[in-house]
Structures are given as C-alpha cells and as structure tokens.
C-alpha cells in the first residue's frame, strides 16, 4: 500500500511538473498571400487596439527584419523579437514564444512575404507551434476572387489552420459583402479595413521608414487603425480563440558562458546605423559584455572600449554628416591601428571603405579602413539567408542591400548561401576588422561571436547552438 501511495505521489509530481512546463495563451499568426498586402499595418493596428484596452500584447516578426520590429514595438509598447527557423533555430523560437506566453494576453506573429514562401516558410513556423493563421489580403480591384484565393490558401496544406480573413483596402460596405458571401464557411471574414492612406505605413528603399524618424506620425496611424479594427469587434474575436500551449526549449537552460566579462563593446547607433537585432544585444550582455552606444553622426569621440560594432543602417542617407565628423573618423582610425576588434556589417562595411556615393552622384569620404568605394545602385539589390564562414566559426545571418562595393581587397571567405551553390557575400579582414554585407544573428553561435569581439578563453568546441533543433521542413534547409 505504501508503495502504491509513493507511486501515486510521484505520478502527481511528474504531472504537476509537466503542467508547469507549458503555458497557454491565445496566439495568431498574421500572414498574407504576398508582400505588400499590409501585414505590418494591420499587425501594428491590432497591437495598438489591444494595448489601448490594457492588454499585454507580445509581437514577433518572422524573418530577418530590423524596421518592422521597431514599428511593432512602438505600437504594442513591448519588445519585439525575430522568429526564424533557419537563422535562429527551433529551440530559440520555442523559448521566445514560451516566455512571451508567460506574460501576454495575446501573441501576434507577423509573417514575411507570402505564407508559403521560403524554406522554412511562415506556414512551417505556424504549423510547428500550432499557431492559427489570419490572412491579410489587399482586396483592391477584386471581390469574389479574394475569397477564391483564401480558399486556395486554406486548402494548400492540411497542417495549417486558417482562422479567418482581414480584407485590407476594402472600398465600401458592398465590397465587403461580396467578399464575405463568397468565402468558405470555414474561413470567416474577421474584419474589413477601409481603403485609407492615413492608415498605411510610410516606406523607402529596404522597407519601412524607421520608427524613430516619424514617431508622432506613426502614433496617429496606429490609433486610426486601432479604431477601425475595434469597430469590427476584432479584439473579442482574437482573445476568444482557443489558447495555444507553449513549452520551453530544452537547450535554453544552458546559458552561454560569460566569455566577454570585463569587456566593453562600443555599438554605433543613430539614424545612420540602426539595423540591430535586440537578440544580439541581449546575447552580448548575457556573455558579460558592457555595451556603450555612440553616434557616428553626432559624437566627436569614440567611447573607451575593448571592441567596436558598426551595424547596418542607412549611411547613404547621412553620408555628408558622417564625412563631416572628422574627429570621430580619426578616433576610429586610431582604434583600428591599435588592433581593436571591429565588426562592420553592411552599412558598417560601407562606412569602412574609402568613399560612398549616393544615387544623387554625390561622393563622400568615409573611414578608409578598407580599400574600396561604395555606391548605391537604384532599385536592384541583393538579399538572402547566408552563413558567414568566419575563422572564429560559422554564424548564420542574411544579406539585404542596394549598394555595391568596388576596388576591395581579396576576401578571406564568402558567405554560404542557404540553398544556392554560388559563393555568397564577400567577407573581408584587415588587421582585426571583419567587414561584410552580411548581418549576423549572434545567438546562432555565441562562441564564434565572443571570439570575434576579442574574447580569449573561449572553448574550442562550439557550444549547443539554438540551431541544433532546427525544424525539418518538407525540404530541410541546407
């Protein structure tokens, strides 16, 4: 009898442990049949609508994106992280969702491109974590055809559930009625967003205009969108969805060692350099680094530091200001000559070259740490997921730029594309400067990143990566 009681108590303890390890929360994956349908406009309006009602809304953005997350963070009043099964890995995504579910009334995940585009796709992410998908579609110029497209999306895969349609840019009440009447019964019309330029988010090359540049204008657009969606009763519909159970990642328990303890990393951050993953900053701090931020546009001196990070951004829009700050340029040159570890990504690479020419044909002097000239090239660009094959170790990331460099030295390596066999972006090294068009996702390989910023006592073996548990899609990523 005693043994039976002990067994029952053990079972009850195990069941309690299992219950504690899962957290349930309503969640919605906001997807679209293509880019340019208004996903970010609608997601930010949804976030603001619920934020105004006192709800905690945690928003995520899929794929490598710097601009949308800052817009969504302003709309929701909460930090916004990226979720990407190839770049970040399943374990990383699982843990971020679990942590968000522990504090949120609703989780919103905004997709990238079309919901079935890419490998892994937005649909792969939604299927893996059981997230119901809401389709946002620009319905301008069609009515019943919108319903046909939604029906096709809903039936394309049996492991994805489409919870409804948000018809964006709807022209009238009659327009709405035609779409709603043609939809299959399994896919309700959740809302119709009116065709109104006051709701749309401003764009420029590479994506949306940075949130910091138009904060007040965004506030007006968020509130207008929130009011339009609230009138549709959308808050109640989303919050009443069956909650999704989120479990923690088993690998998250092992935090990275404090390889960067005692080291200060100066991070360029202003209107010219702002393409920074919050996850990258968080990892550097978890590894013990002290971060100090400075502006290459405004600051006259480089902060005292042990390493320097020049991230991507829009240096081409501020080339004259960067060139005019000769005091800081001289300071960075001295740091380079003193063999300070420097990481320069995309816009940071352009800043390190001899010169930069914008599309207006104006050329400005840059740092001159690396021979070569940068120039904008109109609407043609390069983008894609790649692995940076660094001497310190491979680190996954992506490229997205509309510039080109010429006259550069022989690269030490190239990025390895996710699927295509052709060499990816060139990786340059001069003294302790590492420069490339690639934007790195630091959590993919903390040990390599620690070495890149000058850590000495880093174990030879690569620690468990967040990519060790990457989901196997229909065609697994290389």
Kindly state whether residue 300 falls inside one of the protein's structural domains. yes
Q: Which of 212, 308, 309, 322 is nearest to 272 (CA)?
A: 322
Portion of the chain with pLDDT greater than 90, in percent:
69
> Does the residue 10 lie in any domain?
no
- Does some domain include residue 17? no
Active site members: 346
In a shared domain, residues 304 and 213:
no
* Within a domain: 1: no
Are residues 462 and 328 part of one domain?
yes
Average pLDDT of the residues of the chain = 87
Residue 403 sits in a domain of what CATH number? 3.40.50.880
Q: Which of 430, 348, 427 is nearest to 386 (CA)?
A: 427
400 within a domain of the structure (yes/no)? yes
| φ, ψ dihedrals at 235, nearest 5° | -60, -45
> What are the φ and ψ backbone dihedral angles of 310, each rounded to 5 degrees?
-110, 95
Nearest to 430 by CA among 347, 356, 383, 367: 367
Provide the sign of the torsion angle of the four alpha carbons 266, 271, 272, 277, taken in this order. positive
| Mean pLDDT in residue range 417-428 | 88
Q: Whole-angstrom Cα distance, residue 448 to residue 194?
A: 49
Structural domain count, the chain:
2
| Residues 106, 244: Cα–Cα separation, whole Å | 10
Instruction: Work out the average pLDDT over 283-299.
Output: 98
Q: pTM above 0.95? A: no
In a domain, 8, yes or no: no
Average pLDDT over residues 80-94: 93
**The pLDDT value given to residue 212:** 53
Enter the tokens of residue 464. 């468990």
| Same domain (yes/no): 225, 163 | yes
pLDDT at 251 over 70: no
**How far does Cα 183 stand from its chain's mean position?**
32
Average of per-residue pLDDT across 390-414: 92
Query: Is residue 400 helix, strand or coil?
Result: strand
- Does residue 140 sit in the same domain as residue 194? yes
> Are 188 and 270 within one domain?
no
Looking at residue 285, its pLDDT comes to 97
**Lowest mean pLDDT segment, chosen from 79-83, 104-108, 221-225, 380-384:** 380-384
Question: What is the domain-level CATH number for residue 203?
Answer: 3.40.50.300
Task: Identify the domain boundary among 250, 274, 304.
Answer: 250
Residue 13 clears pLDDT 50, i.e. is over it: no
Do 61 and 186 belong together in one domain?
yes
pLDDT digits (tens, 9 = 90+) for 201-237: 655 344 445 545 555 678 888 888 889 888 888 888 9
Res. 145 pLDDT band, cuts 50 70 90: very high
pLDDT of res. 465: 42
Last residue of a domain, one of 250, 271, 300: 250
Residue 108 has pLDDT above 90, yes or no: yes
Kindly state whether residues 35 and 147 are assigned to the same domain.
Answer: yes
Confidence check: pLDDT of 347 > 50: yes
Q: Domain range spanning residue 397?
A: 254-469
In the prediction, which pLDDT does 352 show?
A: 98
Do 244 and 259 share a domain, yes or no? no
> 388 has which bridge partners?
395, 415
Residue 113 belongs to a domain: yes
The domain boundary residue, chosen from 219, 250, 281:
250
- Residue 198's pLDDT is 60
Is the same domain home to 213 and 269? no
Same domain, 147 and 197: yes
Confidence category of residue 252, pLDDT binned at 50, 70, 90: low
pLDDT at position 135, please? 97
Residue 305 is predicted with a pLDDT of 98
User: Is residue 16 in some structural domain?
Assistant: no
Specify whether 176 is located in the same domain as 93. yes
Q: Which residues contact 272 (CB under 8 A, 6 or more apart)?
A: 296, 297, 313, 314, 315, 317, 318, 321, 322, 347, 351
Percent of the chain having pLDDT more than 70?
Answer: 86
Round to whole Å and give the CA distance between 31 and 185: 19
Q: Are residues 397 and 308 in the same domain?
A: yes
Angle formed at CA 138 by CA 135 and CA 144, multiple of 5 degrees? 85
Q: pLDDT band at residue 32, thresholds of 50, 70 and 90? A: very high
């Amino acid at each position: 009898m005693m043994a039976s009681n002990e067994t029952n108590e053990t079972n009850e303890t195990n069941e309690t442990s299992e219950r504690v390890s899962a957290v349930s929360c309503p969640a919605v994956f906001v997807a679209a049949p293509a880019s340019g349908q208004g996903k970010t406009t609608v997601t930010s309006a949804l976030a603001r609508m619920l934020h105004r009602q006192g709800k905690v809304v945690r928003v995520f953005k899929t794929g490598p994106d710097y601009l949308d997350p800052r817009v969504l963070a302003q709309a929701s009043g909460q930090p916004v992280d990226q979720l990407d099964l190839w770049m970040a890995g399943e374990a990383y995504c699982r843990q971020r969702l679990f942590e968000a579910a522990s504090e949120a009334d609703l989780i919103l995940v905004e997709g990238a491109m079309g919901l079935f585009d890419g490998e892994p796709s937005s649909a792969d992410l939604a299927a893996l974590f059981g997230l119901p998908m809401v389709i946002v579609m620009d319905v301008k110029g069609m009515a019943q055809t919108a319903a046909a497209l939604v029906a096709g999306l809903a039936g394309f895969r049996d492991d994805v559930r489409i919870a409804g349609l948000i018809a964006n840019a709807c022209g009238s009440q009659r327009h709405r009625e035609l779409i709603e009447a043609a939809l299959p019964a399994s896919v309700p019309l959740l809302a119709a967003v009116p065709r109104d330029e006051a709701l749309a988010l401003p764009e420029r090359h590479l994506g949306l205009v940075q949130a910091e540049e138009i904060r007040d204008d965004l506030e007006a657009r968020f509130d207008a969108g929130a009011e339009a969606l609230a009138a549709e009763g959308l808050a109640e519909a989303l919050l009443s969805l069956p909650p999704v159970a989120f479990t923690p990642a088993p690998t998250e328990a092992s935090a990275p060692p404090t390889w960067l303890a005692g080291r200060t990393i100066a991070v360029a951050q202003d209107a010219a350099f702002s393409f920074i993953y919050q996850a990258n900053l968080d990892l550097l701090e978890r590894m013990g680094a002290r971060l100090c931020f400075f502006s290459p546009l405004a600051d006259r001196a480089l902060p005292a530091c042990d390493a320097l990070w020049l991230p991507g951004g829009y240096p081409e829009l501020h080339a004259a200001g960067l060139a005019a700050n000769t005091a800081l340029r001289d300071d960075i040159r001295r740091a380079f000559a003193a063999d300070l570890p420097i990481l320069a990504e995309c816009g940071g690479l352009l800043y390190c070259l001899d010169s930069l020419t914008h599309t207006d044909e104006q050329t400005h002097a840059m740092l001159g740490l690396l021979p070569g000239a940068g120039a904008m090239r109109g609407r043609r660009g390069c983008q894609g997921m790649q692995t940076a094959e660094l001497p310190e170790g491979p680190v996954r990331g992506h490229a997205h730029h509309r510039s080109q460099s010429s006259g550069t030295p022989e690269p030490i390596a190239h990025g390895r594309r996710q699927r295509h066999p052709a060499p990816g972006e060139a990786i340059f090294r001069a003294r302790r400067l590492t420069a490339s068009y690639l934007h790195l996702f630091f959590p993919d390989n903390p040990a390599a990143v620690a070495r890149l910023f000058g850590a000495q006592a880093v174990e030879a073996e690569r620690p468990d990566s967040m990519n060790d548990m990457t989901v196997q899609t229909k065609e697994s990523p290389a």
